[in-house]
Structure 1
Amino acid sequence: PYGRLNHFGHPDADVRRYYVDWFKTFADISADLGASGMGTQFAIFTHKDFDDPQRRAALLDIALECWREVAEHARAAGLTYLFWEPMSVGRE
């Protein structure tokens, strides 16, 4: 997907699930192409979610769990690392 989507930081669980599955497929494709790793930005939070400390903390935990699930799949596919692109905006 276009890299500026908020995938794992999306407020809708169904959207997050779609992107967990999408990134698992990305891991499979990356491994099939001989890549050793893959990545994107960590997550993007809405302004509303980022400005609410409790909501931000909850979504941070959710995003980490999404990445854990993708990482386990990526490891099984043969990848050795994932990376997060450092972003210049706090909510990204």
Structure 2
Amino acid sequence: MANRWLRPEVYPLFAAVGAAVGICGFQLVRNICINPEVRVTKENRAAGVLENFAEGEKYAEHFLRKYVRNKAPEIMPSINSFFTDPK
């Protein structure tokens, strides 16, 4: 029975589903742990609406967003410029 499901053809499917579950899990943990709008404990929920803009800015402006902010939205810029820029 296990041989039916563990064929080499399904390994890419397992990898894709595993990557999707990993990304979802990462985002869930990130939101629960460091999102300023998510409050898990009863004491934090009793605080009501906090106007802590610095913490929200720190959460929204993470390293990856700062890194790609001034980059061109291209996957392979050298190949794109080779085919699009006239010489």
Q: Structure 1-normalised TM-score? A: 0.30
More helix, by proportion: 2
Greater length-normalized contact order (CA 8 Å, ≥ 6 residues apart): 1
More strand, by proportion: 1
Q: Structure 2-normalised TM-score? A: 0.31
